[in-house]
């Protein structure tokens, strides 16, 4: 074979090999591209199935390894499955002990500014208000401004650098923390005395925790708003604040102290099942009636007065109130119990409490309630509120 023929053969072989390499490379690239498309397409149905599965779930649970969530699961179990309260109708003013009623009226006369304070508080409760507007309202109050700045610069909320403006502090604390600080400080200024200070501290903490819880669980009830639920949570036990301020003889103050620590009395008594039972037995009046009297005296909305009066009435409320009022009564029932269980977490047994009445359960979206309580956001807000209580003392 001539040299030219050899070279021609080698050239053909090289050309053939080059073509094969190019073909394989193109197939490889095409395979990679196709694989990416297949991979992306295969992920979407999986995600869609997961999302669909999540939507169908009726129970939302916090991670099993999170011990903080255990008390919420226990509280929901009592509320949704426990026996309902006896459903006693609210106390009428004619049924109250005359001396206690007189003392309550005297106390309310010294709290005339509460109506004005609540009107200002409504600025904080406007769902359309911006955080900047609320910060500007706070900045007009020197005492409240100092509390807000102190909280924002605390170790718990530690921003990493000094917070020197109320506007910056407001962004760190958020809406609910601003509202709870405002409410607490202004009511504290209305009652600067140190009488029953320990009892009032417990009431403030419970009011704040109930308000935060109510704002979250209201999503499970129709005809409710988180803002109104928050306010009712803060105000539901206002009658107990009035009890702490009422002029009383020495033995009366001792009875009030027992009323404020009502849970041991309930556990030891066969006649008392709730705080209202203890109050009626020891004082001849209860905080629900006192709260309603305060709402009316301060010319607050009728809905608030109605819910405050009935928030321990159980099934008797369902029979006389409309769905809106009953929904808020149910919200406060749920929030009140969860707040108390939170304060007793770590104890060997749950605090005294009852399940929702059948009439309230009919108004309850159970999956939405479980999602609101166990989704994680509410627990974080409650922990933040506990810290805020400690910081603002």
Domain limits of the chain?
A: 1-56, 67-111+191-392
Q: What is the mean pLDDT of residues 272-291?
A: 93
CB 221 within 8 A of CB 327: yes
Class of domain 67-111+191-392: mainly alpha
In angstroms, rounded to a whole number, what is the distance separating the alpha carbons of residues 151 and 105?
A: 36
Residue bearing the bigger pLDDT, 15 or 317: 317
**In whole angstroms, what is the distance from residue 61 CA to residue 71 CA?**
12
Across residues 6-35, what is the average pLDDT? 48
| Residue-wise pLDDT tens digits, 136-194 | 877 877 777 888 888 888 877 766 678 888 888 888 888 778 877 877 776 665 554 55
Of 30-44, 94-108, 170-184, 351-365, the range with the lowest mean pLDDT is 30-44
Pick from 114, 206, 205, 131: which is nearest to 166 by CA?
131
Find, among 200, 235, 262, 205, the residue nearest to 332 by Cα: 235
Choose the weakest-confidence range: 165-174, 210-219, 300-309.
165-174
pLDDT of residue 24: 52
User: Which tens digit of pLDDT belongs to each residue from 239-272?
Assistant: 998 888 888 887 888 888 888 889 888 888 888 8
Distances (CA, A) of 182 to 100, 140, 285, 312: 30, 12, 29, 27
Give the pLDDT confidence score for residue 216 in this predicted structure: 96
Average pLDDT, the chain: 78
Choose among 393, 392, 382, 380: nearest CA to 151.
392
Span of 123-137, 228-242, 310-324, 335-349 with lowest mean pLDDT: 123-137
Within the chain, strands assigned E span none
pLDDT of res. 28: 44
Burial (0-12, 13-18, 19+ Cβ within 10 Å), 330: buried
What pLDDT was estimated at residue 29? 37
């Amino acid at each position: 074979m001539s040299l030219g023929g050899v070279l021609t053969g080698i050239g053909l072989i090289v050309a053939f090999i080059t073509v094969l390499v190019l073909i394989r490379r193109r197939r490889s690239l095409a395979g990679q591209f196709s694989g990416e498309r297949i991979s992306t397409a295969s992920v979407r149905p999986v995600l869609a199935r997961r999302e669909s599965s999540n939507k169908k779930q009726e129970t939302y649970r916090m991670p099993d390894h999170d011990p903080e969530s255990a008390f919420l699961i226990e509280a929901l179990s009592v509320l949704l499955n426990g026996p309902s309260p006896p459903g006693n109708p609210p106390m009428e003013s004619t049924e109250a002990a005359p001396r206690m009623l007189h003392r309550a009226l005297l106390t309310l006369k010294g709290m005339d500014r509460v109506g004005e304070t609540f009107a200002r508080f409504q600025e904080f409760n406007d769902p359309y208000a911006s955080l900047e507007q609320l910060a500007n309202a706070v900045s007009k109050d020197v005492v409240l401004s100092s509390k807000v700045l102190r909280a924002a610069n605390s170790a718990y909320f530690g921003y990493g650098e000094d917070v020197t403006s109320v506007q910056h502090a407001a962004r760190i604390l958020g809406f609910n923390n601003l509202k709870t600080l405002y409410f607490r400080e202004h009511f504290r200024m209305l009652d600067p005395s140190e009488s029953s200070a320990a009892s009032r501290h417990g009431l403030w903490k419970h009011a704040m925790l109930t308000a935060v819880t109510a704002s979250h669980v209201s999503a499970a009830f129709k005809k409710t708003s988180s803002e109104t639920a928050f306010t009712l949570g803060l105000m539901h036990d206002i009658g107990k604040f009035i009890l702490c301020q009422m002029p009383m003889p020495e033995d009366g103050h001792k009875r009030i102290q027992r009323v404020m620590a009502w849970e041991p009395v309930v556990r030891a008594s066969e006649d008392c099942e709730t705080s209202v039972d203890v109050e009626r037995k020891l004082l001849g009046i209860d905080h629900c009636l006192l709260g309603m009297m305060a709402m009316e005296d301060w010319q607050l909305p009728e809905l608030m007065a109605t819910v405050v009066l009935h928030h321990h009435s159980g099934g008797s409320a369902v029979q006389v109130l409309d769905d809106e009022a009953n929904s808020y009564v149910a919200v406060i029932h749920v929030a009140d119990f969860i707040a108390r269980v939170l304060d007793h977490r770590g104890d060997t047994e749950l605090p005294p409490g009852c399940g929702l009445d059948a009439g309230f359960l009919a108004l309850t979206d159970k999956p939405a309630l479980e999602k609101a309580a166990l989704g994680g956001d509410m627990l974080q807000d409650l922990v933040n509120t506990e810290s805020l209580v400690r910081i603002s003392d």
